[in-house]
């Protein structure tokens, strides 16, 4: 049986809850996702479009739709954190994994658009691991 899971933006202005019932979990390495996050990839979970309740801050959401591609980002207007959105087709709710306050019911299954990954990504995986900033 699925349980509720909550999430929020970094500043806490926007909060939400949904059932922890995700069907897909992809790490997307496309160049658009790199630009959108300023990082190597996005971590997106997919669930039913109606599986979301905004609990605060819904008026602080901003939606960006790329004008020529099927590409969307919803974010908090205060802190810029990525937040859940229903895709253009209306067939899926896409939830940035980092916006959740607990672990999702599934683990990543695919690295998509792998051929577009950042040239430094592979070296980053094998770089030294530190608990905080390096000494």
Domain boundaries, the chain: 4-118
- What burial class does residue 70 get, using C-beta atoms within 10 Å of its C-beta: 0-12 exposed, 13-18 middle, 19+ buried? exposed
8-19: pLDDT as tens digits: 999 999 999 999
Average pLDDT of span 2-9 = 91
Both structure tokens of 101: 């306050």
Both structure tokens of 135: 């000494």
Could you identify the residue written with the tokens 């999702």?
104
Rounded CA separation 24/46 (Å): 5
Alpha-helical regions (H) of the chain: 31-37, 121-126
Could you identify the residue written with the tokens 């940035």?
96
Question: What pLDDT band is residue 67 in, cutting at 50, 70 and 90?
Answer: confident
Both structure tokens of 48: 């039913």
Mean pLDDT of the chain: 94
Radius of gyration of the chain (CA): 15
pLDDT for residue 54 is more than 70: yes
Rounded CA separation 20/100 (Å): 10
Torsion, Cα 133 101 111 47, to 10 degrees, reads -170
119-134: pLDDT as tens digits: 999 999 999 999 999 9
pLDDT for residue 1 is more than 50: no
Query: How far from each other are the two terminal CA atoms of the chain, in whole angstroms?
Result: 45
CATH fold of 4-118: 2.170.150
């Amino acid at each position: 049986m699925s349980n509720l899971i909550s999430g929020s933006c970094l500043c806490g202005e926007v909060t939400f809850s949904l059932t922890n019932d995700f069907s897909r979990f992809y790490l997307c390495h496309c160049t658009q996702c790199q630009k959108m996050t300023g990082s190597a990839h996005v971590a997106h979970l997919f669930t039913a479009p109606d599986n979301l309740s905004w609990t605060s801050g819904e008026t602080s959401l901003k939606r960006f739709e790329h004008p020529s591609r099927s590409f969307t980002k919803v974010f908090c207007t205060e802190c810029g954190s990525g937040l859940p959105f229903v895709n253009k087709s209306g067939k899926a709710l896409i939830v940035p994994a980092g916006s959740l306050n607990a672990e999702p019911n599934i683990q990543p299954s695919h690295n998509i658009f792998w051929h577009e990954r950042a040239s430094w990504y592979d070296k980053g995986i094998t770089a030294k691991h530190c608990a905080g900033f390096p000494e």
